[in-house]
Structure 1
Amino acid sequence: MKTYNIYDAKTNLSKIIKEVQAGKEISIAKNGEPLVDLKLHQPKKNKIKFGAWTGMIDIPDEKLVGIDPEIQELVYGKDWDKK
């Protein structure tokens, strides 16, 4: 792991960013002690998971009579009618 002090990191920020993009591990130190480690940002992947509330809430079946089957599936999951 390559280490830069804060002054050098400020002076060479563009170079350091390119090194991180290339996969190198970089540490920034203050008074010779490592302070932070830099890593490449990984975007968060948001996925919709249908039926994610299955088992977490309890709605009596009589309350769901006449409600759209898609909504029932969102609340109870794909096999909601096979309890």
Structure 2
Amino acid sequence: MYQINIHEAKTHLSRLVEEVALGEEIIIAKAGKPIAKLIPLEKNQSKARVPGGLKGQIRIADNFDGPLLESELALWNDAPIFPAE
């Protein structure tokens, strides 16, 4: 990771994007004060999921897959697909 001033970043944006695509992180500064950080997009999108992360937080009703009431069944079968607004 290194720091670059905003004027130089504007001048060399294509090169900076190539470096970031290869995994480099770059701080952009204005008057010596960091104001932005260029990071690879892929690095942020691929956070690992933890199996069982929601364990105990989701409750499924005992009759979840039980038969529907006649009124519920009518809603599924007879209701319009796109209700009027």
Contact preservation (8 Å) 2:24, 2:40 = no
Alignment match, 2:67: 66
1:56 aligns with 2:58: yes
Structure 2 residue matching 1:4: 3-state secondary structure: strand
Q: Which runs of 5+ in 2 are unaligned?
A: 47-53, 69-85
Pick closer, same or farther for the CA change 1:64–1:24 going to 2, 3 Å: closer
Alpha-carbon offset, residue 35 of structure 1: 1.4
Pick closer, same or farther for the CA change 1:4–1:58 going to 2, 3 Å: same
Please report the TM-score for the alignment, with normalisation by the length of structure 2: 0.52
Q: 1:37-56 maps to which residues of 2 (within 5 A)?
A: 37-42=37-42, 44=45, 56=58
Pick closer, same or farther for the CA change 1:44–1:13 going to 2, 3 Å: same
Alpha-carbon offset, residue 60 of structure 1: 5.8
Alpha-carbon offset, residue 37 of structure 1: 1.5
Cα RMSD between the aligned structures?
3.2
Q: What percent of counterpart residues are identical?
A: 32
- Greater CA drift, 36-45 or 4-13: 36-45
Q: 1:15-26 maps to which residues of 2 (within 5 A)?
A: 15-26=15-26
Structure 2 residue matching 1:8: 3-state secondary structure: helix
Distance in 1 between residues matched to 2:45 and 2:24, nearest whole Å: 21
Q: Which runs of 5+ in 1 are unaligned?
A: 46-51, 68-83
Distance in 2 between residues matched to 1:56 and 1:66, nearest whole Å: 22
* Count of matched residue positions in the alignment of Structure 1 and Structure 2: 62
AA of the residue aligned to 1:38: L
